[in-house]
Chain A
């Protein structure tokens, strides 16, 4: 109580004095002739002496009228009470089905608890109430559009299951806001553990936002990263780093098991202070390919993040396409020397005539003084003295004889590289997009920029090698080698073989294969026919684990889907979230609607009204 939808109505309380004035004006007493007034006067005097409330009793009608007005004003102010359920409203439910909802800190799981609460809300629906159910994990789905059919809603809600994916609420919110826009009394209720990013500050909806917070505690240790790396010292061997995050209230001590192709290969003890992350290194001589599984053996609230897989592909040379008009001695020399690379040289004209498929055969493309007319949506590029307009760059002029100001030592491409004393005679001045990072900066502007956006990685040098002394310096071959690794290196290779759960897995099928049989982590199989498209897509990898693609007369191909999301692993439920700079506080109960109670007030005004009528007609007896 105590909340009003329309507090302005209290201004009407100004009518109270009006009633009093009317009452005084109205109190023109009826004349009544009596034989003598002295007994009456005596009686009135007696009453004044004996009954202090007589005044009030005499003005009972006035007080009743004031009470009725007060009740009416109160009703106009539209007070509401928090009551469970809702009335005449359209309730748009956003139900979190992300991995963290699998946490078992509430019995039997957060998902089941959420479903239970939502079904209670369905039970509390009044006639005319509508409900819509949208689930959100990494994707969102409208599982039930606005309906008054409670049976349908119960069925739909009953079948909901949490997936192994991370959380992204924005799309679901957009759908909800769009649905709310057409409704009279919309309310968006988010049923979640709150492990999602805060809503964008410009998110706006006319609907009321509520948040039902599910979950009791954050007691979870999980693997939030699993990365392979070439061990430089031991040639072709891989090392695997597993990042373990402790989201419990205590320090964690446990064991990370590493399995290779299903066989336990190593077990590492790990100590993680509360709230922190620790990397565990797994290396084994001769680890060049295979499937590595990292596994935390300790039991905690959330099981999905206790395992992660990585598919290590047998090493193969990075294929580089060098697009150059007249050849570039220095770059070709460096590419030749690198044993991990294999490169082809073509002219820009030839490049333009290449088909998309032919282009995709190359891991990365080096443009030497030539800018392509268009770039594929994703790719790895090194631009030498070329400014890619496609990526949002723009040439604004030239600068001469500029000195080095600074360089980004943290960037992978600058590993072991020093640009000190580099002389650049002439360079292009560029305007670059905001997502580009300067990794070599001269007095006049950037000399080398890096882009790492989506599936695209690019390094852009704005000067001609021959206008500088760079090719003669040690930093040049080092930089190119680093760039080749960063742009087209192993992480791209492996990235292709592992996806985040819920993401699209795409691959180029082997020639001659008509259909692949995909074995899912649980053992279920599904068939992926190969059609006209030369790229196969699989979008249902929403379970953590290893996926096996098999086809007749072909070696099995593997890919892994992992959660590896620090936000999901940190399963502590949030009690509130921010939207547009405003905090939406969560409740632990099924949502309570602002059930307006004003209609009780006129009803409440009825007894005083009837009392007034009665007293008016029975004055003298009361």
Chain B
């Protein structure tokens, strides 16, 4: 697979569109650094939230002197603290993602780059990680526009290899990233052991989980004829089929059931499920589709 350069991955025209997008989170998160996002945590910002009694050690700068003058009591002004958001973009880096034209992995990388760019543009902290049975490739949490190009370089350098081990990968991720934030996982969820054990791991944290179920156009609507020996790209498993209209119909039914089960699992566990096909042009997905799905303002 040719590794697209950063410019090929995201052109300038597309990035200017991304600037206009804000990442939306339905929860208000805490963050270590103040960002542009209002937090439930009251603290020190410009927007007034409440008063509380002064206790020794509080910052004198936030005492409301007007109240003291009238009531002769020390009250402390509380403001909504603005904090930055942690955005984790997890890209399935297993071999199965290399399937399709364009390859699902390329498509997923573009989406990841776009999401990362949007996050960074909104002064959020962004981490991009590729996960597969072979191990993690991690771009650690970063903020600031100067990090964008580093992130793009990282994304360009990502490789997909190895099998899918969602349960293991997700567990590893959860252990390492205990914080709150937005988690976007982009995968085809073709895990022969099932996706449930993997997604279950995200219930532990308090992350806002978006499941982007990405399938190649060839998977949604296969164009294959004849007597074929289907080889699984990950484990070299073999299925011999004679492609007939009946078989294709059956396949599509099974695929629909698979997607529907995944969607049901996600909604019942508080995850947002989004289905995407590589047939949808990538910028359209990011600009319209994800926005409609509630990921952006």
Contacts and interface: CB of A to CB of B under 8 A. Distances in A.
Interface of A: 27, 29-44, 46-47, 50-51, 54, 57-58, 617-622
B247 A38 contact: no
Interface string B245-267: 11110110111001000000000
B239 A40 contact: yes
A35 B219 contact: yes
A29 B232 contact: no
B23 to A, nearest CB: 29
A43 B219 contact: no
Contact of B227 (A30, A34, A42, A43): A30
Nearest to A31: B229
B259 to A, nearest CB: 11
A180 B280 CA distance: 81
B96 interface: yes
A44 B228 contact: no
Interface in B124-150: none
B258 A39 contact: yes
B65 interface: no
B254 A43 contact: yes
Nearest to B251: A43
Given A34-B231, A36-B190, 13 more contacts: A29-B227, A30-B226, A33-B233, A34-B99, A34-B230, A37-B230, A38-B232, A39-B254, A46-B253, A54-B246, A619-B244, A620-B225, A620-B244
A618 to B, nearest CB: 8
26 contacts: A29-B229, A30-B227, A30-B228, A32-B231, A35-B232, A36-B192, A37-B231, A37-B232, A38-B190, A39-B258, A41-B239, A42-B254, A43-B241, A43-B247, A43-B250, A44-B239, A47-B247, A57-B246, A58-B227, A58-B242, A617-B225, A619-B243, A620-B224, A620-B243, A620-B244, A620-B248
A37 B238 contact: yes
A39 B97 CA distance: 16
A54 B246 CA distance: 8
A40 B230 contact: yes
A222 to B, nearest CB: 79
Nearest to A39: B254
B229 A620 contact: no
Nearest to B190: A36
A35 B230 CA distance: 9
A40 B241 contact: yes
A44 B225 contact: no
Contacts of A30: 226-229
Contacts of B76: none
Contacts of B100: 35
A407 B253 CA distance: 109
Nearest to A618: B225
B228 A32 contact: yes
A559 B237 CA distance: 110
Nearest to A30: B228
B58 interface: no
B243 to A, nearest CB: 4
Given A31-B231, A33-B99, A35-B188, A40 B245 contact: no
B59 interface: no
B183 interface: no
A35 B253 CA distance: 18
